[in-house]
Amino acid sequence: MKKIIVCLCLLGVPFLSAVAQTEANYDESKVPAFILPPLLVNEEGKRVTSAQEWERDCRPEILSLLADQEYGVMPAGEFETRYEVMATNAKALGGKATSKQVKITFKKGYLERPVVILMYLPNQVKGKAPVFMGYNFGGNQTIHPDPEIVPTSERERGAAQSRWPLDKILAAGYGVITVDCNQVFPDNPEGLPKSVMRLFGIQEEADLQPNTGQAMSAWAWGLSRMLDYLQTDPQVDATKVIAIGHSRLGKAALWAGAQDTRFAAVVSNESGCGGAALSKRAFGETIDIITTKFPYWFCKNFKAYGNNEETLPFDQHELLALIAPRPLYVASAEEDRWADPRGEFLSAKYASEVYRLYGYKGITTEEMPQVNTPVGQRVTYHIRTGKHDITTYDWEQYLRFAVANLK
Ligand code: GCU
């Protein structure tokens, strides 16, 4: 085991985490004293001092620990993949974009799992465009009223339009790539048999090992499969694909970016518990709450840490550190206490230690920044005013960040 050397947040109420936490705590003075596993010491207790050593001695250990104990492992297995361009329009959105809808079919024997990728690429960019890629919650047609979008659900066209300010993103020279997360793993307790896990022989609960991945791992896997497609698309700069996600889909974007270093950068919008927020703070949503309410998101092993955070041999700053040295943006909202803004800030700040090994500046401020005031460089953080959501303000920061960091 790693020697625990980081000691934080000694607010005079030690070891409260043993107390049942089914009710969310919103009182900072009741955050338990906790110790985080150090980022630069491996399981044998060896301290690393360079990026090469970190990649050799620490990164693989953290990756397998998180796969085994939190997100779950995707089983090995062969399947076929087929790409089919369903529709393109070189003059979409009043001529600002080229839209494209591509069906990816994963096939194993008689079983097929189709997923439709919706793409808007900026026409002002000649050649390959950098893109933001992330899931939508409820259907491709929800991101914009564009009547050409093939619906993937019953939901209204444009219902989530405020979350996807396409005009702004395109004007900044970036494309948008999105997929309905439900096509990869339906986001409900009955989703497993209809998910891509079927390709790997997992059809029901009884097929799950304690460390088998469920929705979160399947969603991360799906982002990587979409990136496989983007590498074949002549209009996309596959070296500049930024994984982005809001909330549960932010957790998935982080886990995808942690595992698949082809993602050029990662943006976590209010990903909270099981995302950017430190679990050991047990502030807002906790492991017990999330694994009880969403037992199909993580692997079964994760549940054992509910109301038992002091036994966690890892925390979410390690997930963020796996993104290093690639640019990472972590964002919170002031009224989204469920996602623990302070826990998201601290996690991003601690992960910055690994960026330093690579010679990059992350977050250096000690205290939480003021609202609507991003801090940091290669790792940036903001807390905006308002509720749990992804807004135009958030996107404006991500665009500025992408332009500055993805040269
Ligand atoms: C719930 C869940 C969170 C999640 C959020 C979302 O609130 O408890 O963990 O991030 O949904 O995805 O919007």
Q: Give the model confidence (pLDDT) of 327-370 as tens digits.
A: 999 999 999 999 999 999 999 999 999 999 999 999 999 999 99
138 Cβ closer than 6 Å to some ligand 1 atom:
no
Give the whole-angstrom CA distance, residue 81 versus residue 193: 19
247 Cβ closer than 6 Å to some ligand 1 atom:
yes
Ligand 1: nearest atom to the Cα of 248:
12
Q: How confident is the model at residue 205 (pLDDT cuts 50, 70, 90)?
A: very high
Give the whole-angstrom CA distance, residue 175 versus residue 164: 11
285 Cβ closer than 6 Å to some ligand 1 atom:
yes
Residue 327: CB atoms within 10 Å: 23
CA dihedral 155, 160, 161, 164 (to 10 degrees): -130
142: nearest Cα among 124, 167, 163: 163
Biggest alpha carbon distance in the chain?
62
Q: Give the model confidence (pLDDT) of 154-175 as tens digits.
A: 999 999 999 999 999 999 999 9
Residue 220: CB atoms within 10 Å: 26
Q: What is residue 5's predicted lDDT score, i.e. its pLDDT?
A: 37
CA of 360 relative to ligand 1 center, distance in Å: 31
Q: What is residue 316's predicted lDDT score, i.e. its pLDDT?
A: 98
Mapping DSSP to helix (H, G, I), strand (E, B) and coil, where does residue 157 land? coil
Rounded to a whole number of angstroms, the distance between the first and last alpha carbons of the chain is 39
Q: What is residue 86's predicted lDDT score, i.e. its pLDDT?
A: 98
247 is a catalytic site residue:
yes
Ligand 1: nearest atom to the Cα of 290:
8
CA of 392 relative to ligand 1 center, distance in Å: 20
Ligand 1: nearest atom to the Cα of 274:
9
Tell me the residue type at 237.
D
Query: What is the chain's length?
Result: 407
288 Cβ closer than 6 Å to some ligand 1 atom:
no
- Atom 13 in ligand 1: which residue has the minimum CA distance? 247
Residue 156 class from Cβ within 10 Å (0-12 exposed, 13-18 middle, 19+ buried)?
middle
Give the whole-angstrom CA distance, residue 137 versus residue 84: 23
In the chain, % of residues over pLDDT 90: 94
Residue 311 class from Cβ within 10 Å (0-12 exposed, 13-18 middle, 19+ buried)?
exposed
CA of 183 relative to ligand 1 center, distance in Å: 19
- Domain parsing of the chain, residue ranges: 5-71+264-405, 80-236
Q: What is residue 108's predicted lDDT score, i.e. its pLDDT?
A: 97
pTM over 0.85: yes
pLDDT for 4 beyond 70: no
Ligand 1: nearest atom to the Cα of 250:
10
Q: What is residue 263's predicted lDDT score, i.e. its pLDDT?
A: 99
Ligand 1: nearest atom to the Cα of 270:
10
CA of 332 relative to ligand 1 center, distance in Å: 13
- Atom 8 in ligand 1: which residue has the minimum CA distance? 290
Say which of 99, 195, 247, 347 is annotated catalytic: 247
Mean pLDDT (whole number) for 311-319: 98
CA of 246 relative to ligand 1 center, distance in Å: 9
Q: Give the model confidence (pLDDT) of 231-264 as tens digits.
A: 999 999 999 999 999 999 999 999 999 999 999 9
Q: Average the pLDDT over each of 6-20, 48-62, 65-79 and give the range with the smallest value.
A: 6-20
Contact yes or no for 222/209 (Cβ under 8 A): no
CA of 334 relative to ligand 1 center, distance in Å: 16
In the chain, % of residues over pLDDT 70: 95
Q: Average the pLDDT over each of 19-23, 322-326, 400-404 and give the range with the smallest value.
A: 19-23
Contact yes or no for 195/74 (Cβ under 8 A): no
Q: What is residue 407's predicted lDDT score, i.e. its pLDDT?
A: 85
